[in-house]
Amino acid sequence: MEALSPRPLIGLTLEGLREVAASVGLKPFAAKQMAAWLYQRGVTSVDEMTDLSKVARERLKADGWTVGREAPKTEAVSSDGTAKYLFEGAGGRDVEAVFIPDRDRATLCVSSQAGCKMRCAFCMTGRQGFHGNLSVAQIINQVLSVPRSADLTNIVFMGMGEPTDNLPAVLAAIEILTAPWGMGWSPKRITVSTIGNLPGLRTLLDTTRVHIAISVHSPFAEERAGIMLVERAWPVRDVAELLRGYDFAHQRRLSVEYIMWRGFNDDMRHADALARLFRGTSARVNLIRFHAIPGVEMQPAAKAVMEAFRDRLNEAGVTATIRASRGEDIDAACGMLAGKERPVGQSDT
């Protein structure tokens, strides 16, 4: 008899766990018991779920169910303490997650896709093409399986891929992270970054309370379209107009990600247009130094220019800060994640 392929329990919502419980003859309340073992106690095997009967555990295993935790394949640690982890991905590409310690905070930058369809000119992930969506299990595994998982205070969906392009999996992951039966996090500890996919962004805004980060990088349509093809489908002006319809003044935060390049988008004309674009949205602008990647000739803006740009935005009533660069020496900084191509013949599991 052919063995069943392993089926991970992590990544299942309470509804999914109820279906699993029913399939092995357990009462519906067993779903909450399994959820607690998976998401709160961090078990790595079905046998550790000791408040399920031995018979039930054996049935789960016989049906191919496993916890589904997978340790990272590799670890690289930066001189600043940032750590990058390689995980199983999709379509022959592995994915990366980045752990960023900062005083009393510990943030994990997670991936949602192997590669990306958006093809932004300045991003290593986008330049490698799209290889596949990560499953909910693969997304949650990054959170549960990094070595310092217990220390995490924040999650940012800013790793490989466009989160709104794999929205069902991202929404399920957010549910697991925030539900009382799951990890019980406040939505205020989670930020989802997007290039401005309007339908996906609207769904994210309407169905969650997580923070939102919008990748802009130029306030001018033609200029932005030259580096971000998404501008042709969903103009940033339409994105800003949508955001004006939501309340970001209290529990939810809106941030604008703005990479700065020398002589391209770093003058006062850009600062003034950016301020006009997001005035009235309570957006906070994060100015980001460009990290050089192969095949891209653009250069980072000078520090003094970035400071003047920040000051101009602040004077215009738009809060702006310069984000500290982390993990550049291990290719873990913004725009540098590329994963790893696996040898021909090595399949996904």
Q: Which of 116, 162, 334, 341 is catalytic?
A: 334
**DSSP-assigned beta bridge partners for residue 45:** none
Cβ atoms < 10 Å from Cβ of 148: 11
Active site residue 241: no
CA separation for the pair 111, 98 (Å, rounded): 9
Q: How far from chain centre, in Å, is Cα 340?
A: 18
| Distances from the Cα of 201 to the Cα of 28, 139, 218, angstroms | 34, 19, 19
Three-state SS for 168?
helix
* AA identity, residue 235: P
DSSP classification of residue 261 = B
Q: Which of 96, 162, 231, 257 is catalytic?
A: 96
Q: Is 51 exposed, middle or buried (0-12, 13-18, 19+ CB in 10 A)?
A: exposed
Between CA 140 and CA 294, with CA 194 as vertex, the angle to 5 degrees is: 90
Active site residue 315: no
CA-wise closest residue to 46 among 58, 36, 29, 35: 58
Cβ atoms < 10 Å from Cβ of 346: 9
Residue with tokens 């992951």: 173
Catalytic residues: 96, 334
